[in-house]
A and B are shown apart, each in its own frame.
Chain A
């Protein structure tokens, strides 16, 4: 089966600019996650979708970050305006029915964002 696809792989922007990331999950996976992974840290959940509804966005900095999952398939994550501390790898993951021992997360290769 095809894995989780993300684009772009790399992005360099200046602070205060905007940027968008795209994710295509594994076909049929209802749950989609965006994680932020700062260098030297473990991934931190930003937002979780179940189909096209938001399950958890408590850690999403809503003043600058937004995400949507139209039609319950692809998803985009946007940052506007970007700050230096947003430099990180943004990982998209999907699972069939949320996180359960029989439904693990599958991760994309991530988008590495550098804000200068």
Chain B
């Protein structure tokens, strides 16, 4: 069975400080993993995706994520938060032919 667990429903950071959004997964086979961002009243935008070629994945807007099979994790990080990063973030993994999403983490950036 496929499932995704986002460990924090809300993360608050100060502008300029690092961001860590945590995601654990469960899959009966080697999954493809994604991070999406959703700004208010907008659809989901792809941040990055895990391919089997590299465990450290770089995405847009300075975000990156590391696939750790031994820990079944795919945490999203960014060295320095910007105000524009405030949004909802979703971790997702592939099922048979669609995506399973986590429940989301709301990121607040404090000026």
Name which residue of chain A comes closest to B90, CB basis.
A42
Q: Are A55 and B97 in contact (CB under 8 A)?
A: yes
Contacting residues, chain B, for A109 (C-beta < 8 A): 41-43
Which of B41, B50, B99 is within 8 Å of A99, CB to CB?
A: B99
Complex Cα–Cα for A111 and B111 (A): 31
Contacting residues, chain A, for B77 (C-beta < 8 A): none
Interface residues of B in 25-66 (CB under 8 A from A): 32, 34, 36, 41-46, 49-52
Shortest CB distance B43–A (Å): 3
Contacting residues, chain A, for B94 (C-beta < 8 A): 99-100
CB contacts between A and B, total, < 8 Å? 66
Contacting residues, chain A, for B98 (C-beta < 8 A): 33, 45, 48, 56, 99
Q: Are B102 and A42 in contact (CB under 8 A)?
A: yes
Q: Are B97 and A56 in contact (CB under 8 A)?
A: yes
Q: Are B49 and A101 in contact (CB under 8 A)?
A: yes
Tell yes or no: A104 within 8 A of B by CB: yes
Contacting residues, chain B, for A45 (C-beta < 8 A): 98-99
A: number of interface residues (CB 8 Å): 28
Question: Which of B4, B44, B50, B51 counts the most A-chain CB atoms under 10 A from its CB?
Answer: B44
Known A-B contacts A43-B90, A45-B99, A48-B97; A99 and B32 likewise in contact (beta carbons under 8 Å): yes
Complex Cα–Cα for A106 and B34 (A): 12
Contacting residues, chain B, for A110 (C-beta < 8 A): 41-43
Known A-B contacts A42-B90, A101-B50, A101-B51; A107 and B44 likewise in contact (beta carbons under 8 Å): yes
**What residues of chain B have their CB less than 8 Å away from a CB belonging to chain A?**
4, 32, 34, 36, 41-46, 49-52, 90, 92, 94-99, 101-104
A-B pairs, 6 with minimum CB distance: A42-B101, A107-B43, A107-B44, A101-B32, A109-B43, A101-B51
27 contacts between A and B (CB under 8 A): A9-B41, A33-B98, A40-B103, A42-B90, A42-B101, A44-B101, A45-B98, A48-B97, A55-B97, A56-B97, A56-B98, A98-B97, A99-B94, A99-B97, A100-B32, A100-B94, A101-B49, A101-B50, A101-B52, A102-B51, A104-B34, A104-B49, A105-B44, A108-B43, A109-B42, A110-B42, A110-B43
